[in-house]
Amino acid sequence: MNIPASTPANATLTVSKDAKGALQYAWSGSYVNSTGDFDFTSVKGPIQVTLTISTNLQISYCLPAAQTMWLGQAGPVKPTQPYSGTEFSAPTFPTGAANALQWTDQNSDGLTYEYILLLWEVDAGHPTGVRIKVDPRVINRGASK
């Protein structure tokens, strides 16, 4: 059986603060829109997603990597735990990459998923740190397309 190579999807989440101190998020990269939704409907086969945080703030992913992204099928209830299934691999921190998270999406079921990134921020208001939730979506291509 010939296993197709994964298509890379590299995205960056730039985090800054506005004049009032509220966090601002800007997304860029392949297959990701301005709200952080990944749309893989134009890609056939598995996708290797690498999501990097770019910021001058003291923000990083929560630890461990497998717990820093909750993922579930999109619906009225947001995910509250890491994904359990075969469509996505558990997230990992790639070797030698600062503030990067990586996972594989089999991109084969045509479903829309919601994911919540758990970030950790340390600042003057939260000297011991505070968890931040960012919640975009992943839209998969169907197996029959």
Domain boundaries, the chain: 7-139
DSSP 19: T
pLDDT of residue 23: 93
Answer whether 71's CB lies under 8 Å from 83's CB: yes
Where residue 2 falls among pLDDT bands split at 50, 70, 90?
A: low
Report whether CATH 1.20.1370.10 matches the domain 7-139: no
Residue 68 to residue 79: CA distance in whole angstroms: 12
pTM: 0.88
Where residue 136 falls among pLDDT bands split at 50, 70, 90?
A: confident
Is the pLDDT confidence value at 101 over 90? yes
Phi-psi region of 125 (alpha: psi -120 to 50; beta: other; left: phi over 0): alpha
CB atoms within 10 A of CB 124: 6
